[in-house]
Structures are given as C-alpha cells and as structure tokens.
Structure 1
Amino acid sequence: MGEKSTGDRAAVTHEDRSAEDYCGRERCLPQPWMCNVFHIDGSLRDIRVLDVTGDEWIAVLERLRVAADEVEIDHPYPQLDPTHPATADLFRTWADEPEGRGTTFAFRARFDDVWFFALPLDDEEIEFSLWPDGVVDGTGVAAVRRFLTEVATASGRLSVLTAECVTYAPGMPTLMSHDPATGLDFHI
C-alpha cells in the first residue's frame, strides 16, 4: 500500500512517507514532486550554469554574498584577506594564477536552513551542491528556488538543479530550473 509503479521500481507516495524514512528527522514536503526532487538517496543535488565567464562567476558570488542569510569562505591564498577576501580577487587568484590552479577555495551560502556550497573547479561552469536531506519542508524548497533565481539573475543564464554527477546539456530534463529571460521556474 502507498506504492505506485514507476517502471521497474516502486515509489512511495509522499503521503506515506514517515519521519523514520528520513533518519528520524521530521520532514514534510507539501507536494509529491518535491519528494521526488529531494529524495534522500545518499547523493548531492547540483545547481549548474553552463558556458559562463569569469565575470559571471564573480557576479554570482557577489550577489550571493549580499542575498544569502550567511556566507562562509575558506581559501588558501596568503595574499588575500583571510576572512573577507574581495570576490574578484578571490576568483581571479584561483582562476588566473598558477598557484590558484593547484588549489581551490570553498564558498558556502545559507538561504533559510539550506546550505549551498561550491568548490570551483571549472571557470566555465558554475556548480553549487546541496544535500537533499537539508530540504525538510516547503520553506526549504522555497530556499532552493530562491537560490536558483539569484544564481540565474546574477549570471543572466538558465540555472538548473540536477542529480549529482549528471552531465547536463541543454534539452536534458532537470529537477528544477529558473530562466532569467522569462522569469519562469520549472520542476519535474
């Protein structure tokens, strides 16, 4: 009871999920599609923006520093301020200097109770990750939507939420997205 066939696997409907299904944490996602997007399966969810420039990366990080409820930055670059490095200096030290390429910096932003984090590895693709178990209710889903909107707006490009390690290409299905050109959100 409470299962629906989805091809070769059975999916528990959102009404039948109990707190025990989520490591004992109370979790109430108000719509079934949210349970599918934030199903706790041991993997992260990735937020991506493709084909960006360094300036777009910087614009996104600067916007998140202002829009987020809290931001944390860790970096190994002794020439930069240890606690509040300028975003442009941080990104350019990583992207443009030989010693930056051997290391990276960590950027974390919190929206409500949901943390998003990036370890920049590619200056042509923005990627942030989040743990799906951090999204415990409608407020958490709203935080993810807000984050997607902030990233899309700052970069001027489509931002997409995918499963971890999914190679995203235009036209592929996504879990959630925000298109700054239309102002529209999409979800599965």
Structure 2
Amino acid sequence: MTSGIGARGETNTEERVGLTHEDLHAGEHGTRARCLPEPWMCDVFHIDGSLRDIRVLDTTRAVWIAVLERLRAVADETEVEHPYPQLDPVRPAFADLFRAWADDPEGRGTSFVFRARFGSVWLFSLPCDEEEIEFSVWPDDILDGVGVAAVLRFLVEVATASQRRALLTGETVRYDPEMLTLISHDPVTGITSHI
C-alpha cells in the first residue's frame, strides 16, 4: 500500500487517522500491545523489545553531513553528544565531528550521538561508518497516528536531504537486502510505501 506525502511531510490521511483498529495483538508474554489507528501501523510498530532502524544506503560523509544539517534545521529539537574537547560541546559543526571521529586516530573507536525530536518522538543515531546512515526509534514511543506521522516526516526529511531512498526496517547492525522493508520513501517519486 502507498500513500502520498508532500515535501513538508504532510500526509493525505485525515480520514484514515480517525479509524480505530480493534484487533489487539498479543505480545510474546501474553500482554496486549496498544493498537494504532491502522492495522499496518500495528505491524510496523509492534512492541517487541527491539528498535526500528531508518537507513540510507551507499552514502558518503557529505551525505551524512547534509542529512544532519537538514535535521538540525527542521526538527523540533536536536541534541549532540561527543567526546571531543576541541569542539563546541552543544552545537559542533558536523564536518568537524566527522573529522574528529573518522580522521583523527585518537577519535577512532569513539563516535558521537545525534538525536532529533519530531513531535514527541525522538530518533537517534550513533554513526558507525560513513557508507550507511542509520537512525533508530523505539516502537514504544509511537503511541498513535500522530507518532507515526512524526516518523514518516523524519523519513521524508532524511530521504530528501540524502537524495536517496530511506528505509525503515527492523533492528539490525548492518542492512541485509533480505530484510523486510517496513516503510520506505523515494525522494525521486515522492512516494512513501509501507507493508
């Protein structure tokens, strides 16, 4: 199923957000997971103790920097934590962060954390390499259709800034092509698809 999302992340789902999905999913311990407005949302954000990852493949340092700068500009709030005393502790330049992390032999083995809040949902990244962008979100934080819309907006912003397809998958260390893509946004077509 697909739905169109505009350049600013608005969805065309005013009617659909008001729907109630009555099928409650039993958790692995017999507990009932809260249900989101549509069945696919429950499947994507089922609370199972693992993160959901937002990924962009085949990236470079320049793409990472473009994405982080875009998120810093459009998110409701951002935070950066890093171990580099020579850099601004609150708002370091992303090019400087990448130099300290990837180019400085003393920086190897450490990284930095970037967090962005869209609405009430926090998404975060601990960069591991320059070739694959990865952000994570806890499905426990997605409480309703508004939370889903925040994740979709984030996905669109990442895809737009990187000019590459952004994928939301289950939690994994590295992307596996055989892994199910739960949601994706293609910045070329402007189409967001979900399972």
Report the TM range for the smaller structure's normalisation. 0.7 to 0.9
Query: Does residue 1:100 correspond to 2:107, yes or no?
Result: yes
Structure 1, unaligned stretches of length 5 or more? 1-13
Query: Does residue 1:62 correspond to 2:69, yes or no?
Result: yes
CA distance in 2, matches of 1:143, 1:29: 14
Q: Give the match for residue 131 of structure 1.
A: 138
Contact 1:158 1:178 in 2 (8 A): yes
Count of paired positions: 171
CA distance in 2, matches of 1:63, 1:171: 30
Deviation at 1:149, TM superposition (A): 0.5
CA distance in 2, matches of 1:84, 1:166: 27
3-state DSSP of counterpart to 2:111:
coil
Q: By percentage of residues, which structure has more helix?
A: 1
Query: Does residue 1:21 correspond to 2:32, yes or no?
Result: yes
TM-score, normalization by structure 1: 0.85
Q: Which has the higher contact order (CA 8 A, sep 6+)?
A: 2
Q: Percent identity?
A: 70
TM-score, normalization by structure 2: 0.82
Structure 2, unaligned stretches of length 5 or more? 1-20, 26-30
CA distance in 2, matches of 1:164, 1:170: 13
Query: Does residue 1:141 correspond to 2:152, yes or no?
Result: no
**Misfit runs of 4+, over 3 Å:** 166-173
Query: Does residue 1:121 correspond to 2:128, yes or no?
Result: yes
CA distance in 2, matches of 1:179, 1:65: 21
Per-residue CA deviations over 1:52-92 (Å, capped at 9, x if unaligned) read: 01000000000000111010100000110111111211122
Contact 1:115 1:130 in 2 (8 A): yes
